[in-house]
């Protein structure tokens, strides 16, 4: 299957700082990338959908000014958590879609905000 | 009511047992149904992908979809300790490459 990487795999930051998470499709071109958040023992919740070169579409309740998404190319999307607070601590997972049927997930990034 | 309901477990079975995992859903627009396996602190891995009602088999895994009852199942035969993971059902109205709605996941432990 296709490979999606995320960097960093984990990050610890102080409250009020911004954190950038990269998502790369290594061996395919992802026309659509998705960003999910997963709290412990809970399901993945879709945060936003982004298409290359256009603005991301955010799910209801997700603050677009807090979670900045950039999909600059068909192989790279970034999620920036601005002014992070402890309640933003979570497991962030991206996925890349190649078309209607398939979506490949990255290994996730664990964010801890102190 | 959540769009997708899944028993969170944990579910503990002996090696070699048949495991049944289930999800129910309320949105009749869902046409595409997936099962993902997620190991601790890892991203989900696609196991099974089905469209509409029916059965699909792949090795030790069988996925069933009953759209009339809004109920899907994943069966694992001859379960192995390596099957120990969290199993997530996911659904979409427009295909697996589009917005997915996930269940909460069922934690499975297969014991020696």
Instruction: Kindly give, in sequence order, each residue whose CB lies less than 8 Å from that of residue A56, ignoring residues fewer than 6 positions away.
Output: A48, A49, A50, A64, A69, A71
The pLDDT tens digits for B73-91 are: 999 999 999 999 999 999 9
* pLDDT, position A1: 66
Q: Residue A35: which pLDDT band, with cuts at 50, 70 and 90?
A: very high
Neighbours of B28 (CB within 10 A): 9
The residue among B37, B43, B46, B99 with the most chain A CBs within 10 A of its CB, best to mutate, is B43
The SS3 of residue B82 is helix
* pLDDT, position B97: 81
- The whole-chain average pLDDT of chain A stands at 92
Average pLDDT over residues B6-19: 93
Instruction: Kindly give, in sequence order, each residue whose CB lies less than 8 Å from that of residue B85, ignoring residues fewer than 6 positions away.
Output: B37, B38, B39, B40, B107, B108
CB < 8 Å to A24, chain B: none
Do B88 and A108 lie within an 8 Å CB cutoff?
no
- Residue window 9-48, chain B: list those with CB within 8 Å of chain A: 32, 36, 41-46
Average pLDDT over residues B59-68: 96
Q: Which residue has the higher pLDDT, A1 or A51?
A: A51
* pLDDT, position A98: 76
Q: Which of B102, B90, B112, B89 is nearest to B12 (CA)?
A: B112
Do B102 and A49 lie within an 8 Å CB cutoff?
no
B33-44 burial, b for 16+ CB within 10 Å, e for fewer? bbbbbbeeebbb
The pLDDT tens digits for B89-106 are: 999 998 878 889 999 999
Distance from CA of A62 to the nearest CA of B (A): 15
The pLDDT tens digits for A49-84 are: 998 878 899 999 999 999 999 988 889 999 999 999
* pLDDT, position A2: 82
Above 90 in pLDDT, residue A5?
Answer: yes
**Neighbouring C-alpha atoms within 13 Å toward the C-beta of B44:** 34
Average pLDDT over residues B1-7: 87
Are the beta carbons of B100 and A46 closer than 8 angstroms? yes
Q: Residue A18: which pLDDT band, with cuts at 50, 70 and 90?
A: very high
Above 70 in pLDDT, residue A15?
Answer: yes
CB < 8 Å to B100, chain A: 34, 44, 46, 103
């Amino acid at each position: 299957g296709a490979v999606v990487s995320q960097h960093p795999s984990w990050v610890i930051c102080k409250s009020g700082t911004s954190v950038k998470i990269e998502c790369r499709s290594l061996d395919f071109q992802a026309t659509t990338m998705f960003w999910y958040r997963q709290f412990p023992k809970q399901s993945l919740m879709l945060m936003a959908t982004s298409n290359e070169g256009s603005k991301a579409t955010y799910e209801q309740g997700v603050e677009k000014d807090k979670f900045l998404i950039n999909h600059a190319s068909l192989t790279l999307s970034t999620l920036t958590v601005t002014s992070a607070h402890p309640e933003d601590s979570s497991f962030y997972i991206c996925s890349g879609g190649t078309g209607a049927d398939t979506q490949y997930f990255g290994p996730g990034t664990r964010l801890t905000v102190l | 009511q959540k769009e997708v309901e899944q028993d969170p477990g944990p579910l503990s079975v002996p090696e070699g047992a048949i495991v049944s995992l289930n999800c129910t859903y309320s949105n009749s627009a869902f046409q595409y149904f997936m099962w993902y396996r997620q190991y601790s602190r890892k991203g989900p891995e696609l196991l099974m992908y089905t469209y509409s009602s029916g059965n699909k088999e792949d090795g030790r895994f069988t996925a069933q979809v009953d759209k009339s009852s809004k109920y899907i199942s994943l069966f694992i035969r001859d379960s192995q300790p390596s099957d120990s993971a969290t199993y997530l059902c996911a659904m979409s109205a427009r295909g697996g490459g589009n917005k997915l709605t996930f269940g909460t996941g069922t934690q499975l432990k297969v014991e020696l």
